[in-house]
Amino acid sequence: MPSIASLRRAGRETLSGLPREFWWLWTSTLVNRLGAFVATFMALYLTLDRGYSASYAGLVVSLHGLGGVVSSLVGGVMADRIGRRPTLLLAQSSTALSVALLGFVTDPVAIAGVAFLVGAASNASRPAVQAMMADIVRPEDRVRAFSLNYWAINLGFAVSATGAGFIAEVSYRAGFLIEAGMTLVCAVVVFLKLPESRPGRADKAVAEESVGLGTVLRDSRFMGVVGLSFLVAFIFQQGSIGLPVAMGAAGFSPADYGMAIAVNGVLIVVLQIPVTRFIEHRDPRRLLVVSSVLAGYGFGLTAFAGSVGVFALTVCVWTLAEIVNAPTQTGLVVALSPTHGRGRYQGMYTLSWAVASLVAPMTSGFVIDRFGAEWLWGMCAVVGTAAGAGYAVLMRRLPQTPAEAATETAAETAADDRAVGREQESRVHP
């Protein structure tokens, strides 16, 4: 057993060396997740409280995802052009207003429309958050920083999921208003405590031209990561889409689902930091292969669940995959992104999750309605296997470690800077 001294030393090594701005961004993330409600309980709200079918719930949650698809790239471009801080303020304020509105609309068409707005507003902040974190944290500390941020997400989720499950038993509207208020608090933290972090260049116009969306799309190595990320995201989406619908159809209450899914957050809070210390300097390629397969089969085991306890055990399995996948994937994306195009690259990566949140609800609703939940869980196992195989093929083209990836990207960025300098010089001396 580790001694108290060794645990303290591990804690200091994990938490020390990160800038103050990171911790304010971390605090904003934690506050936001403490108020999380819509993404977790939308399907239950529509099926149990409003009495709509699983297919309609899947359609509405897909429109929420469609909003995220639209805003992923827009938010990434905004983060590069107008800055990380203004993008965050605009996105968080808009999210608060649209979430509050969602609690009051009753018409089916209006619910669908507002859900689209919520998805667009909430997803627009993600590229800016990830780009700002990459700006303010040293390359060697980024996997640790992303892991701590993910830990904050799940610390908030572990608290909110259980509490929100009981709030939903009394009033879904109260849950929407609580999330709106907490999101406004996040905007206040950003406004008061976070300076702009976007890297500067002498010629911004040339910088924007040098890394555009076309640059991202032509980066075949990066787009391969984005495609495989979509498959993994499709699987993890089932924790908030397929799982609550399947549990509701099997006669379990919102509180039962809240207790089962809270295991996900609790495990991440307990294990994320020690696991990150273990994987921080290991080959991300193997980690992504293993986590993809484990995620697929973790959800596949849900087909055999018949009680809250067994559902919670399956959550434990795919949570282990999530703990490994999240910081590894995000750190790799940052390492493969040029410095002056981080917003656009992060926007494209966020797009993979947004598209998954669009496709997964409609797919899961259709499969559950037509064939039953067991088929959905079998599909997850197949998709996880395919993603693992994809990473096994792609990993020959990926850097072996995050440090190697950072070195490679730094060289590419330096080459880009030299090209920009030559273009500027040619303008002065034609």
Count of domains forming the chain: 1
* Predicted pLDDT at 12: 65
pTM, two decimals, is 0.69
**Per residue, what are the HEC states of the chain?**
CCCHHHHHHHHHHHHCCCCHHHHHHHHHHHHHHHCCCHHHHHHHHHHHHCCCCHHHHHHHHHHHHHHHHHHHHHHHHHHHHCCHHHHHHHHHHHHHHHHHHHCCCCCHHHHHHHHHHHHHHHHCHHHHHHHHHHHHCCHHHHHHHHHHHHHHHHHHHHHHHHHHHHHHHHCHHHHHHHHHHHHHHHHHHHHHHCCCCCCCCCCHHHHHHHCCHHHHHHCHHHHHHHHHHHHHHHHHHCCCCHHHHHHHHCCCCHHHHHHHHHHHHHHHHHHHHHHHHHHCCCCHHHHHHHHHHHHHHHHHHHHHCCCHHHHHHHHHHHHHHHHHHHHHHHHHHHHCCCHHHHHHHHHHHHHHHHHHHHHHHHHHHHHHHHCCHHHHHHHHHHHHHHHHHHHHHHHHHCCCCHHHHHHHHHHHHHHHHHHHHHHHHHHHCC
Angle at which helix 402-428 crosses helix 142-170, to 10 degrees, equals 100
| pLDDT higher at 45 or 302 | 302
Neighbours of 192 (CB within 10 A): 8
* Predicted pLDDT at 358: 76
Q: What angle do CA 162, 168, 174 make, to 5 degrees?
A: 110
pLDDT of residue 213 exceeding 60, the answer is yes
In a domain, 127, yes or no: yes
pLDDT of residue 6 exceeding 50, the answer is yes
In a domain, 5, yes or no: no
CA 287/CA 292 separation, integer angstroms = 8
**Average pLDDT estimate for 359-388:** 89
In a domain, 142, yes or no: yes
Q: What end-to-end distance do the CA atoms of the chain give, in Å?
A: 70
Where residue 277 falls among pLDDT bands split at 50, 70, 90? confident
| pLDDT higher at 56 or 2 | 56
Q: Which residues span the domain enclosing 332?
A: 18-424
* Predicted pLDDT at 321: 93
Mean pLDDT estimate for the chain: 80
Angstrom CA distances, 233 to 227, 251, 335, 360, stand at 10, 27, 20, 9
Where residue 350 falls among pLDDT bands split at 50, 70, 90? confident
| pLDDT higher at 2 or 313 | 313
Give tens-digit pLDDT for 220-266: 888 988 999 999 999 998 987 888 888 888 888 877 887 888 788 78
CA 291/CA 232 separation, integer angstroms = 9
Give tens-digit pLDDT for 289-323: 999 999 999 999 998 888 888 999 999 999 999 98
* Predicted pLDDT at 85: 92
Q: Are 268 and 151 in contact (CB under 8 A)?
A: yes
* Predicted pLDDT at 297: 94
CA 363/CA 234 separation, integer angstroms = 10
pLDDT of residue 397 exceeding 80, the answer is no
Q: What angle do CA 418, 75, 344 make, to 5 degrees?
A: 25
Percent of the chain with pLDDT over 70: 84
CATH code of 79's domain: 1.20.1250.20
CA 422/CA 413 separation, integer angstroms = 14
In a domain, 2, yes or no: no
pLDDT of residue 211 exceeding 50, the answer is yes
Q: Which of 25, 183, 201 is nearest to 102 (CA)?
A: 183
User: Two tokens at 21?
Assistant: 């701005």
* Predicted pLDDT at 10: 59
**What's at 393, amino acid-wise?**
V
Neighbours of 29 (CB within 10 A): 22
- Weakest-pLDDT range from 32-46, 282-296, 393-407, 414-428: 414-428
Angstrom CA distances, 164 to 58, 63, 179, 248, stand at 21, 23, 10, 16
